[in-house]
Amino acid sequence: LFSFFLDAEPSWDFLNSLQRRILTSAASAVSATVASLVVSIAALPFTLVTFLYSFFSEKVFGRSSLIHSFRKAMDGDDVNRALTTTRFSDLQPPLSPPVIDALTQSGFQFCTPVQAATIPLLCSHKDVAVDAATGSGKTLAFVVPVVEILRRCSSRPKPHHVMGIIISPTRELSSQIYEVARPFVSTLPNFKAVLLVGGADVKVDMKVIEEEGANLLIGTPGRLFDIMDRFENLDFRNFEVLILDEADRLLDMGFQKQITSIISRLPKLRRTGLFSATQTEAVEELSKAGLRNPIRVEVKAETKPGSLSSTQLASSKTPSSLHIEYLECEADKKSTQLVDILIKNKSKKIIVYFMTCACVDYWGVVLPQLTDLKGLFLIPLHGKMKQTAREKALASFVSLSSGVLLCTDVAARGLDIPGVDCIVQYDPPQDPNVFVHRVGRTARLGREGNAIVFLLPKEEAYIEFLSIRRVPIQERIYCSDASDIVQQIRMAAKRDRDVMEKGVKAFVSFIRAYKEHHCSFIFRWKELEIGKLAMGYGLLQLPLMPEVKHHSLSTEGFVPVEDINFGEVKYKDKSREKQRKKNLQAKKEAQKQLAKPEPKKTPNVAAPILRKKTARQRRATQTAEDEDELAREYRLLKKLKKGTIDETEYAKLTGTEELL
């Protein structure tokens, strides 16, 4: 036993000696020894009994599975493998007893690597720029030092003296940070933390601040900027610490103008922490502008021997406990493969990412109607939902032990949803930087997790692109015997006009979002086989689109539904159907009143004869149009990066409103 716990195998000499001693024991003592042994074993802990059995079984019978299980139990579970041996109580400078108590009550005893590296630095009044894999515990890495810094302030806070600000890109992430911070902030006497996010009336937030005060502001840049601009009584003279979480996303979403304005109102003698899973050039620029002599903290993913080369793992951008696969299939088979994955993982918690809000709406209506998915919890979530609906959807999914969240990239950053087993990317993200954040919703804090991304045959270059970006990925076997569900989708569209219309809207929004893909050299929209894509969406007919008309995209593989009058497809919702008929009748009457006999057209003899353009002229015209469009988008992107326009305006000007 001593040899085992010292991590050394017992020698054969030791075992042989033990065996000789047992065999030479007096026969008269055997029965008493056996009886005593039985009583002793009954009193032993189960894990130790298991160990003893497996230990001798391995030596005598060659069994090794139980000893492996015991070693795994001794080493700790998957969560503990993501932790260091450093306790929060061992950190220097030491954390205050109330914070240690709050950590213990929340179940936190040991630090993750990013926490062990970052907390002492911030508590020692150093600025930090932290680059760590998603799911590594960054939230606690800044919440704890923020509370410690505020506790050590000499001055007692007054109601409207703001001493700390935590900024994050989305409402959901801000709400999550607020919930994590609450038990720690409650240890500060006479201290008030306020959550400030969009989706609610700004006057309500101002009333809360006026009546209750605000010493720590947690929220999104837009609402924080709005409150600071409107509420003149906020005092920042005693400001201590600023945290920017998911900094790269803050800049990508066009918040640079608001962030610059917020920072300009804060004292320069402060502590600043910049946290992100990816460090971009824009983040580096922000670091230079907002941080004073920052210390760079970079925590790499833990290596896991066996599956990939040590070189790949050592530089991996994702946790070693995360297994990422790509599934290559034709566009008309994607929906079938998705349903097959959901069927085989009904008992698991899954997040499925789509490119646009319209796609989430469509699949959120279609999938629950499929026979094989009856009884499965399917919850849609995207940025165009009302704030209350978003909160309800997220809370519902968090509370489930198994189910599926259908969402856009609104749920790709920072959210810590417990127990997520698998991530499915039905559409690869428009922004390649988001890929790591999407898959990071699983395999958090050392737990095992799986991620699957769907790719079309012409998108296979994305695999090499991910490898260059230090994302290890392997091929998933295509399931050839999956049941085709396209006919079921079409039947649902025939029964309900809402399904039919949502399908068309989702299809159009996907093509337009695909057209604006950041990796356009891989995701070439002019090579999209929209016929197969439309079949995969279960459309009844191909919609009229200028992209199809002017660029001759392939419609091969699409089989239109012939035996149906699309004008007669009814809404399942009776009130909507009644309103539709009423609108049709009003439209017919308006057309009758406006109808006038058209004058006969006389040929204009003097008009010049228009000749058909040659193929070369058509190509030249198209190339010129493409170059003009590219130049226009580049100018808009520069304006977005400078903060001249925000993300909403940029999306409208580029036709990508549906992405969030």
pLDDT of 92 > 80? The answer is yes
Q: What percent of the chain has pLDDT over 90?
A: 57
**The amino acid at 444:** R
Mean pLDDT over 507-528 rounds to 93
Region of poorest pLDDT, from 326-335, 374-383, 469-478, 620-629: 620-629
- pLDDT score, position 374: 92
Q: Cβ distance 260 to 115 under 8 Å?
A: no
Provide the pLDDT confidence category of residue 41 given band limits of 50, 70 and 90: very low
The sheet carrying 422-425 orders its strands as: 378-381, 403-407, 349-353, 422-425, 449-455, 322-328, 474-475
What does the alpha-carbon distance between residue 19 and residue 371 come to, in Å, rounded to a whole number? 63
pLDDT in tens, 303-350: 444 444 444 444 567 888 899 999 999 999 999 999 999 999 999 999
Mean pLDDT over 425-447 rounds to 90
pLDDT of 561 > 70? The answer is yes
Identify which of 599, 280, 648 has the alpha carbon closest to the alpha carbon of residue 432. 280
pLDDT of 572 > 70? The answer is yes
CATH topology of domain 81-299: Rossmann fold (3.40.50)
3-state secondary structure of 646: coil
Provide the pLDDT confidence category of residue 603 given band limits of 50, 70 and 90: low
- Looking at domain 316-578, its CATH class is alpha beta
Mean pLDDT over 144-157 rounds to 89
Mean pLDDT over 556-577 rounds to 92
Provide the pLDDT confidence category of residue 10 given band limits of 50, 70 and 90: very low
The domain spans of the chain are 2-75, 81-299, 316-578, 630-660
Q: Cβ distance 254 to 223 under 8 Å?
A: no
Q: Cβ distance 283 to 289 under 8 Å?
A: no
Q: Mean pLDDT for the chain?
A: 82
Domains 81-299 and 316-578 equal at CATH topology level:
yes
- pLDDT score, position 27: 40
- pLDDT score, position 657: 63
- pLDDT score, position 89: 94
DSSP string, 285-304: HHHHHH-SSPEEEEEPPPP-
Centre a 10 Å sphere on the Cβ of residue 21 and count the other Cβ atoms it contains.
9
pLDDT of 24 > 60? The answer is no
| Better pLDDT: 156 or 292 | 292
- pLDDT score, position 157: 85
Angle among Cα 393, 399, 405 to the nearest 5 degrees reads: 45
pLDDT of 301 > 70? The answer is no
Region of poorest pLDDT, from 140-144, 501-505, 626-630: 626-630
Question: Which residues pair with residue 271 across a beta bridge?
Answer: 241
Is the dihedral angle over the CA atoms 582, 588, 590, 593 positive or is it negative? negative
pLDDT in tens, 54-87: 344 333 333 333 223 323 333 333 444 467 889 9
pLDDT of 146 > 50? The answer is yes
pLDDT of 423 > 90? The answer is yes
What does the alpha-carbon distance between residue 110 and residue 412 come to, in Å, rounded to a whole number? 27
- pLDDT score, position 658: 60
Q: Cβ distance 121 to 274 under 8 Å?
A: no
pLDDT of 40 > 80? The answer is no
